[in-house]
Amino acid sequence: MLVIFALGFVVFLAMAGLLVDGGRAFAERRQRQAGADTGALAAALAIVNKTDPAVAARAVATINGIPTDLVDCNGATQVGKGVIVHNPPSATPEFNQPVSVHAGDVNYVEVITTKAMTTTFAGAVGQSCWLVTARAVAIAAVKSVAKCSFCSLDDSNKGHTLLLQASANLRVDGDIYVNSSDGGTSGACVPVKFKVCGDGFDVFGSGGYISAQTISVVGGWETHAGNIATADTLALLNGAPCPLHPDPPSAPTPPSNVCIHMPVIPDPLNDPAKPENRVS
């Protein structure tokens, strides 16, 4: 009976490890993936701007709490292995990640983020530490890199593809771009109260605001209850300040500087030849 109990307890620990530690690992991987995605975007934009992609990716990763160096499961520090940047993507697998289909192509940049996670229950069955890793590959072609720090890439005509509620505040020290075509994509419009042409993005709740260095929307936008959307400066269109940036009648001074009827930007983490597939 004691042997059966002991075996049952080991099985219980293994199941608990799978549930508890597996859940933690899933959450960690989501964070690693977010870091890899944003790092790949920053690296791709750096390549376009002829600056160092590794410096750009690691700076973004650091802001998001992902260290450049990896402290592995043995407690050893692997320099540069917390955020790995390859341009072109490497043909040598790292941390069990599959080789990218774009290995060797200088038009792509690969970012791999990794962290050691100490387990709880799984340690009882010999797995006291897991390496959690994620990878993103972005295209660095000039026409394919999204000129934005905060991108709402849904290019349908739906409203509220970017929505702030409950008096929330969003400040982006970069560019906000909203692909929604709600409200139309061309021609002049007459702003009414809080609405400028459409409702691609919206702000609800007294005191809510959106602000960024530049704000662009393919269709139109709207706010409510005196909320504001303001950009530090006008976004560029074909090298010049965007021509259409009307303010809603409710807009405060200074002007909003939100550019409307801007072109749709592609998702730089997708393969342009197969937009339905995530680049791997």
Q: What pLDDT is attached to residue 3?
A: 53
Give the model confidence (pLDDT) of 98-150 as tens digits.
888 888 998 899 999 999 988 876 666 667 888 899 999 988 876 555 677 78
Q: What pLDDT is attached to residue 110?
A: 94
Instruction: Check pLDDT > 90 for residue 28.
Output: no
> At which residue do the structure tokens 């972005």 appear?
138
Instruction: Check pLDDT > 80 for residue 180.
Output: yes
* pTM for the model: 0.63
